[in-house]
Amino acid sequence: MRSIIYSETGDPSVLRLVDRDVSEPGPGEVRVRVVVSGVNPTDWKFRVGSGDGAAPPFPEVTPNQDGAGVIDAVGEGVTNVAVGDRVWIYLAGHERPTGTAQEYTNLPADRVVRLPGGTSFDIGASLGVPAMTAHRALTVSEDGAERLHPGALAGKVVLVAGGAGAVGHAAIQLARWAGATVITTVSSPAKAALATASGAHHVINYRDEDAATAIAEVAPDGVDLVVEVAAAANSRLNIDVVKPRGSIAIYANDGGGGFTLDVRQNMIKNVRYQFVLLYTVGEAALTAAVEDITLALVAEALPVGENAGLPLHRFPLANTADAHQAVQDGAVGKVLIDVP
């Protein structure tokens, strides 16, 4: 089979296309014939590692955590899926050397989920890190929902920072499906169009208007939950617009830098800060995300493509390095790798 590997960390040039034998899945594992591999920022960050030329955690690493395909073989003891099932994949390469940038991948059976009948492989490969991160961010509020379903967030106001990103897109879709009023902030008219297509009720271009004022006009009592992509840059805005007992779920810090919390203002409002990293949320949170995302897929609430607010950028397997570079350069939308 054809497989993308790297044996040292560095820029995308360390990625190589090689031929490798197809191996049998072990007990509790499945083998997936990958159709589409999804690329996330964490994939290139893992590849960069601690610096050029450093040793990765395994002698050879095949990148990419997310993907979709068809179960090709099952190991002893596997009961949740069967040969021929169409599935989406999450955390394929977490603490393992075998990601989805290859024709076949072996992974634990609990890292694959059946795709509902009408769900495309493109949607499946776009779930994983973005959708599960969004799910976690939407379910950590003290006065909010622990699970998502229609009506779970009814009466709540959710602010999604960076609504044109992959996590922002999924957060808008999941929050709206669960009944929330969704506000999002963006930095350009083009991104505003994407956030609107994702389903946001109110889109604010923070370069053209004062975001705090605009949010207060929509939610005079404040927002219940912030899904935050730029923690430092938005720290002042968040404390200004969050309501008492509101929550700020931080999954990234785009732009970098640190920030200082005003203890008195946060204490007065009883604000909760929840940091979110999918790799350490625990199995209970992952299982909840899988189950709720499956319900949303059945309801056709998570479409992708430009008309749905998430443009797709496609690359062949041999050009995985270009796909990684596109994500590293900040491509707006979802980068997918076709694995014929």
Q: Mean pLDDT, the chain, as a whole number?
A: 96
Q: Which of 66, 125, 63, 60 is nearest to 91 (CA)?
A: 66
- pLDDT score at 340: 86
Q: Which tokens belong to 248?
A: 């700020």
**332 band by pLDDT with thresholds 50, 70 and 90:** very high
**62 band by pLDDT with thresholds 50, 70 and 90:** very high
284-322 tens-digit pLDDT: 999 999 999 999 999 999 999 999 999 999 999 999 999
**107 band by pLDDT with thresholds 50, 70 and 90:** very high
- pLDDT score at 238: 98
Helix (H, G, I), strand (E, B) or coil at 73: strand
Q: Which tokens belong to 86?
A: 């169409």
For residue 156, pLDDT over 90 is answered with yes
Whole-number Å distance between alpha carbons of 56 and 234 = 34
Helix/strand/coil percent split, the chain, to 5: 30, 25, 40
For residue 53, pLDDT over 80 is answered with no
164-216 tens-digit pLDDT: 999 999 999 999 999 999 999 999 999 999 999 999 999 999 999 999 999 99
Average pLDDT for 3-32: 97
CATH class given for the domain over 2-126+310-338: alpha beta
- pLDDT score at 49: 86
CB-based contact 130:67 (threshold 8 Å): no
Q: Which of 47-56, 73-82, 318-327 has the lowest mean pLDDT?
A: 47-56
List the strands of the sheet with 202-205, edge to edge: 202-205, 181-186, 157-161, 223-228, 242-250, 272-275
Average pLDDT for 101-122: 97
For residue 50, pLDDT over 90 is answered with no
- Is residue 151 classed exposed, middle or buried when 0-12, 13-18 and 19+ CB atoms within 10 A define those classes? exposed
Task: Write the DSSP symbol of residue 143.
Answer: T
Helices (H), 199-234: 211-218
CB-based contact 1:19 (threshold 8 Å): yes
For residue 55, pLDDT over 90 is answered with no
Gyration radius from the chain CA atoms: 20
Q: Using CA of residue 117, residue 128, residue 230, residue 48, what is the dihedral sign?
A: negative
For residue 139, pLDDT over 90 is answered with yes
Whole-number Å distance between alpha carbons of 44 and 13 = 12
Angle between helices 128-138 and 166-177 (to 10 degrees): 50
Whole-number Å distance between alpha carbons of 193 and 201 = 12
- pLDDT score at 306: 96
CATH class given for the domain over 130-279: alpha beta
Q: Which of 293, 253, 287 is nearest to 173 (CA)?
A: 293
Q: Using CA of residue 235, residue 335, residue 40, residue 288, what is the dihedral sign?
A: positive
234-251 tens-digit pLDDT: 999 999 999 999 999 999
For residue 158, pLDDT over 90 is answered with yes
Angle between helices 283-298 and 166-177 (to 10 degrees): 70
Whole-number Å distance between alpha carbons of 329 and 52 = 18
For residue 280, pLDDT over 80 is answered with yes
Average pLDDT for 84-90: 98
Query: CATH 3.90.180.10 in the chain, residues?
Result: 2-126+310-338, 130-279
- pLDDT score at 82: 97
- Is residue 42 classed exposed, middle or buried when 0-12, 13-18 and 19+ CB atoms within 10 A define those classes? buried
